[in-house]
Amino acid sequence: MSEAEVLTRIDGAVGRITLNRPKALHALNKAMCEAMIDALTEWRDDQEVVGVLIDHMGERGFCAGGDIRMIAESGAGDASEAKAFFKTEYRLNHLMFEYPKPITAVVDGIVMGGGVGISEPASVRIATERTTYAMPETGIGLFPDVGGGWFLSRLPGQTGVWLALTGARLKAADTVALGIHTHFVPSDGVMALKADLMGGVEPAEAVAKHRATDPGPATIDREAIDRLFAFDSVEEIFAALAADGSDWALAQLATLKTKSPTSMKVSLKQVRTGATLTEFAHNMAMEYRLGGRIVSTHDFQEGVRAVVVDKDNAPQWSPATLDGVSDAAVAALFAPLPADEEWTPL
């Protein structure tokens, strides 16, 4: 087996991208994103390629996100490497979003952060019983990037806000019910599904053939989420959860109190702003401004230390409370960049 971190080849009728960094749960780096961009660009005008399949080696998960250690180390300096990664990663996200041929993503296992960014733009998104989805960025002082402002804001009701703020983990029953993933296929049917795709079978037809069961009933409380997260400030959401007083609401409140106050305010503004945008590229430009600035902040550096490096899971946020995070401080993170520094699509 090749040691390349991304395997790209034409397999039958499809261009196939296989993530091949299993020890790091296929965490993305700039070279991996570049390899995917190169392959997708080459296949776009290849008449022999009818569609694209993206999957992964091994059984531990699809993709756990970006290379957080690298991003944090860069952010502790001049952040140039982190910005270069975001620029390339977001261009990959946008290329996939606008791609003229159908992309099928088989999301078998853990899919978080950057993994969401390379699966959500796919037209067919397949979950299995092993799928675990989350956007857990507020727990490390970050925000749900890679298109989160676009995709989360377009989920039903307030579920996108809830996911962005709490980092809640969902299984296939809920991801399919919300439309995060389009289909459920048991993991033992995935190989046959891939074989059909490579044989030129249309993705929808192949999925219908191999979807032996549905993932079961959804488990999340949509009514409570839509009622308690329908506010434009994190303070109002906290107050609503406290006033509700149910076990579920208090559990959400307890979870939110562990997250970075700055990250929560940024993430809420990001999702609310994303809902108003009419082009995916505008969303990615917004997230690039945020990403290049947030990686140098105390909370991101501290969050990565606590969760990824030391693993004590006891980050000391600063400001430590919501009232310490001013509207002006949040607005500054969203401010336009100089024209020659703004993100642009390929």
Residue 217: CB atoms within 10 A of its CB come to: 8
Select from 97, 184, 106 the least CA-distant residue to 148: 97
Question: In DSSP terms, which residues pair with 61 in a beta bridge?
Answer: 110
Note if the bond before 203 is cis, omega within 30 degrees: no
Judge contact between 101 and 42, C-beta under 8 A: no
Q: What is the CA 169 to chain-centroid distance, rounded?
A: 12
DSSP secondary structure letter of residue 309: I
What is the spatial order of strands in the sheet that 51-56 belongs to? 6-11, 14-19, 51-56, 103-107, 124-127, 183-184
Strands (E), 129-180: 132-134
Is 67:85 a contact under the CB 8 Å cutoff? Answer: yes
Q: Which is the catalytic residue, given 55, 120, 145, 174?
A: 145
Contact call for residues 89 and 113 (beta carbons, < 8 A): no
- Rounded to a whole number, what is the distance in angstroms from the first to the last CA of the chain? 31
Rounded distance, CA 142 to CA 171, Å?
23
Q: Which residues contact 48 (CB under 8 A, 6 or more apart)?
A: 10, 13
Residue 156 and residue 277 in contact, taking contact as beta carbons nearer than 8 Å? no
Kindly give, in sequence order, each residue whose CB lies less than 8 Å from that of residue 317, ignoring residues fewer than 6 positions away.
Answer: 141, 260, 261, 262, 299, 302
- Candidate list 65, 75, 113, 114, residue with the active-site label: 114
Tokens representing residue 26 in the block? 């296929």
> Is 145 marked active-site?
yes
Q: Which of 137, 174, 196, 287 is catalytic?
A: 137
Q: Which amino acid is at 16?
A: R
Show which residues are catalytic: 66, 114, 137, 145
